[in-house]
Amino acid sequence: MTLPILYSFRRCPYAIRARLALMHCGAQYVDREVVLKDKPAHMLELSDKGTVPVLALPTNAEDAIGSVADCTSMTTGYRVIDESIDIMHWAMNENPSRRLRNANEWMFTETMDIDDINSLIEQNDAEFKGHLDQYKYFDRHPEHPQSYYLEQAMPFLEKL
């Protein structure tokens, strides 16, 4: 059996959440740590975006084939998913070795359904991430003091 390959960078938040979803849902895969200054040629062949994470699913392995609705590209021998949210959805819905109970725990809670969860993820990526970066790198954003950026980020954190 040929396992999917995840190209990731340890400290990248998008790669972290992709790895968490894969592990939590029981996916079997090979994790390839990427040095961002020296990206592997194979990863760049698969995804011309050149960003992590990238999940390469071997198409010749029956257990790795799923729908192609969320994939960015099809290359010879691989189905490629290069957005962390799409990797999360694959882990929860199409991963052939998934632990159904764990996947369902990620998709539903007692008070939230999948649309609510996706909305939170979108808010995290679009709104909160910008405030967080401004807070962390406040010296690059001298328009306001660091405390201002923290105040902007807090409503999302309080919601969580």
| pLDDT value of position 62 | 47
- 36 and 91 part of one domain: yes
Question: How many angstroms separate the Cα of 34 from the Cα of each of 7, 12, 57, 69, 73?
Answer: 6, 11, 17, 26, 20
Q: Do 30 and 73 lie in a common domain?
A: yes
CATH for 101: 3.40.30.10
- As a whole number, mean pLDDT of residues 113-141 equals 90
* 88 and 9 co-located in one domain: yes
CA distance 72 to 77: 14
Segment 28-43, tens digit of pLDDT: 999 999 999 999 999 9
Whether 122 and 141 share a structural domain: yes
pLDDT tens-digit map of 32-77: 999 999 999 999 999 989 999 999 999 864 444 444 434 445 556 8
The rounded percent of the chain whose pLDDT value lies above 70 is 86
Domain interval for residue 36: 5-107
Answer yes or no: do 146 and 72 share one domain: no
Quote the pTM value. Answer: 0.72
